[in-house]
Amino acid sequence: MKKILSNALRTSFRRAYLGSLTNSVYYPTIYTFLINDEKRKQLKSVLLSAPSPYTKREEHLLFSYQKVVSELPLDAIALLRSFKTNPNIGSALLFKNLPLDDGLPNTPFDGKRVVCKKSFVSEACLTGFSQVLGDVYGYTHEKEGEIIHNICPIKNQEESISNEGSKQQLHFHTENAYFEFRPDYLSFYCLRPDHERNAIFSVIDVSELLRGLSEAEIETLKAPLFRVPTPDLLTKAYRKVL
Ligand SMILES: [Fe+2]
């Protein structure tokens, strides 16, 4: 699994009419788009020459944005752009049948990125799609500032309630809720499923949730009554609770 953060400038366009998607149309929480086999193959062959996002970040970002925008079907790009601007489109997009690199290495035991990987097809898809939504970035205190986080379970950390664990459910949370500079979007790319294919990935549409709450309940939730603690890692990095 790979994860990436991105931020976009929010403008009044957020509520504007765009393409064929109008404010009166409600979409499911997760909108699915299936990439056909021919497009998958084409995308893969173009992205095989992507520079490394780990050692040539700027070259990689420019390459992946240009290629993804020019290779993806127009309706896929329109959907991504609408996701950014139309508040009724739902809280998640799912793209299926995206390409993977050949010879994916074994899942590492230590949760670290495999350095011998030769091509960056999955990375280029992830950064290309994400740049249609906004600017991608990382934090210096997370994964040594890398913009793509390679996430895999760590041996002997199975019970950890974090991205290092594999037996406990990681509960619903807002990404970096304790931090002022939060991402607008999170993009995930699944490289290898669990053996039994039991794993699930759940999302909540907050606007749907809010529709079920009274005004008073929403006001209470907005009041400064709640604290989200900073993870230990950050408290150490910044020498204070953020
Ligand atoms: Fe998270």
For residue 143, the model assigns a pLDDT of 80
Q: What are the tens digits of pLDDT across the range 89-126? A: 888 999 999 999 999 888 888 888 888 889 999 999 99
Whole-number Å distance, alpha carbon 171 to ligand 1 midpoint, is 9
pLDDT of residue 17: 30
Token match 């500079």: residue? 181
173 CA to centre of ligand 1 in angstroms: 7
Q: Which residue has the higher pLDDT, 232 or 49?
A: 49
How far away, in angstroms, is 175 Cα from ligand 1 center? 5
Of residues 70 and 12, which shows the higher confidence score? 70
Q: What is the mean pLDDT of residues 74-88?
A: 90
pLDDT band at 20 (very low <50, low <70, confident <90, very high): very low
pLDDT category, 62, cuts 50, 70, 90? very high
Q: Which domains does the chain have, with CATH numbers?
A: 7-238 (3.60.130.10)
Question: Taking the C-alpha atoms of 107, 112, 114 and 115 in order, what is their torsion angle to the nearest 10 degrees?
Answer: -170
The whole-chain average pLDDT of the chain stands at 84
> What token pair was written down for 103?
């010879």
Residue 39 CA to ligand 1 center (angstroms) comes to 31
142: Cβ contacts below 8 Å, ≥ 6 apart:
149, 233
pLDDT of residue 28: 64
**What SS3 state is found at 138?**
coil
pLDDT of 3 over the 80 cut: no
- Sequence letter at residue 202: S
Task: Return d(Cα 85, Cα 33) in angstroms, integer.
Answer: 18
The pLDDT value recorded for residue 175 is 86
Residue 164 banded pLDDT, cuts 50, 70, 90: confident
What's the 85 CA to ligand 1 centre distance in angstroms? 23
Q: How distant, in Å, are the alpha carbons of 132, 193, 218 from that of 198?
A: 31, 9, 35
Question: DSSP label at 52?
Answer: P
Distance 184 CA to ligand 1 centre (A): 13
| Two structure tokens written together for 159 | 């019970």
CB-based contact 191:1 (threshold 8 Å): yes
Give CB contacts under 8 A, 24+ apart, made by 44-51: 44/99, 44/100, 44/121, 46/71, 47/99, 47/120, 47/121, 47/124, 47/125, 47/128, 48/119, 48/121, 50/119, 50/120, 50/121, 50/123, 50/124, 51/120
Is the full-model pTM beyond 0.85? no
Beta carbons within 10 angstroms of residue 152's beta carbon: 19
Question: What is the structure's pLDDT at 194?
Answer: 87
- Tell whether the model's pLDDT for residue 19 goes beyond 60: no
Cα 172 to averaged position of ligand 1 atoms, centre (Å): 8
- CA–centroid distance, 38 to ligand 1, in Å, is 33
Centre of ligand 1 from the C-alpha of residue 143, in Å: 14
Q: Is the pLDDT of residue 12 over 80?
A: no
Distance 163 CA to ligand 1 centre (A): 8
